[in-house]
Amino acid sequence: MTTERRVRLHFADDASGEFIVQPGQTVLEAGLLAGLPLLYQCQSGSCGSCLATLLAGEVANCGGAGSTLLPSELASGARLLCQSEAATDCVFALSYSSAAGQSTVQRAYALVNAIDAVSLDVVRLSLELAEDYWFDFRPGQYLRLRVPGTDAWRSYSPSSTTHTLPQIELMVRLIDGGLMSSWLTREGRVDDVLELEGAFGQFFLREKKRAPHIFLAGGTGLAPVLAMLESLRRQGGLKPPLLVCFGCRSEASLFGTEQLALYQQWLPTLEVRIAVDEAPAPGRLAGTPLSTLSAADFAHPDAVTYVCGPPAMVDAAQILLGSWGVNPLRIHSEQFAPSAAGQ
């Protein structure tokens, strides 16, 4: 880029902002300097918090920067503002309101209340914020925890909501040799103290949507979905049609099924489909969460879809829904993948 470019950002609440991007600047850097309330965290392309949809113009990817974006997301116009230099004047759409980006990152300490195995490879980590600490987060956003005794941080989406504070509940997938996994299974004890910060990310419930809500969750991707269901349960008035498609590789890896059954009692508009890849038990569906779907589930033009799970599942969902003509702006996704150094 050899000259300054003009960029306009449109928020989901119809607010907008326009600013100049200088040569060598990323769109995120210029937007923050202009005072826009943008969601971001790592500024290196790994967290996905600064996701936007390119509506007009062209951008160049910053040399050497990594990316969490999947090929299907790039094809639908998704871009990370921290990696994008404006090659022409550009227009972007953001999937969150201008108010969402005004919250500040908080740091806190929490005590371990319990570490409970809920499946073959998932534990529920129950925390209680230490006195004088508090968190504000939206259902679906994630927090970062420091692995005790290290400088490494790991990210997890609470399965609980702010209604349960100072208690916070996290679902952690255990990975052989992982830093956090090893601490949880070998060293972690009740009353241990953990450092955490957040909240991060733009994967969160859009409460004002009254159209059908479709949730696709693989493995611990169910955690933010449980938080979203709890938030919807607490909302007044009629509930929108709700569909949860959840799956794991094996019966032994399944968890949260009793909670989903409770939500079906509390939310009459909720339908739940549970799938297992390998040797499903009677009453289960065979396959993946995506195999339980049909194009008819997306007949409503304003249906909003939340996809959370392994990168391969998220990518496959984007491709499948795109083939059915689902508006990519109504698909919100979050990849749950181990860090490069292990979970």
What is the domain extent for residue 95?
A: 5-100
How far is 18 from 265, CA to CA, in rounded Å? 47
CB contact set of 325 (below 8 Å; sequence gap of 6+) = 298
Does residue 208 fall inside a structural domain? no
**148 and 241 together in one domain:** no
Do 109 and 185 lie in one domain? The reply is: yes
On whether both 185 and 245 belong to a single domain, the answer is no
The answer as to whether 242 is a domain residue is yes
Instruction: Give SS3 for 243.
Output: strand
Domain boundary among 179, 200, 221: 200
Instruction: Copy the structure tokens of residue 207.
Output: 């409460």
Q: What is the pLDDT of residue 209?
A: 61
Q: What is the pLDDT of residue 337?
A: 67
Q: Which amino acid is residue 246, in one-letter code?
A: F
- The H-or-E segment that residue 258 falls in is helix 257-266
Domain boundary among 79, 100, 121: 100
Length of the chain: 343
State yes or no: pLDDT of 62 exceeds 80: no
Asked whether residue 83 falls in the same domain as residue 110, the answer is no
pLDDT band at 342 (very low <50, low <70, confident <90, very high): very low
342 falls within a domain: no
Query: What are 118-161's pLDDT values in tens digits?
Result: 999 999 999 999 999 988 899 999 999 999 999 999 999 999 99
Sign of the CA dihedral running 233, 236, 240, 241: positive
Q: What is the CATH number of the domain that holds 83?
A: 3.10.20.30
Look over the chain and give the mean of its residue pLDDT values, rounded to a whole number: 90
117 assigned to some structural domain: yes
Q: What digits encode the pLDDT tens for the residues 4-19?
A: 899 999 998 889 999 9
Q: What is the pLDDT at residue 208?
A: 65
> Does some domain include residue 307?
yes
96 and 109 both lie in a single domain:
no
- CATH code, domain carrying 161: 2.40.30.10
- Interval 257-314: pLDDT, tens: 999 999 999 999 999 999 999 888 888 999 999 999 999 999 998 999 999 999 999 9
Sign of the torsion formed by the C-alpha atoms of 140, 146, 147 and 151: positive
Within a domain: 205: no
- Residue 81 shares a structural domain with residue 185: no
Q: How far apart are CA 216 and CA 271, in angstroms?
A: 12
Using the predicted structure, report yes or no on whether residue 1 has a pLDDT greater than 50: no
Whether residues 225 and 326 fall in one domain: yes
Tell me the CATH number at 274.
3.40.50.80
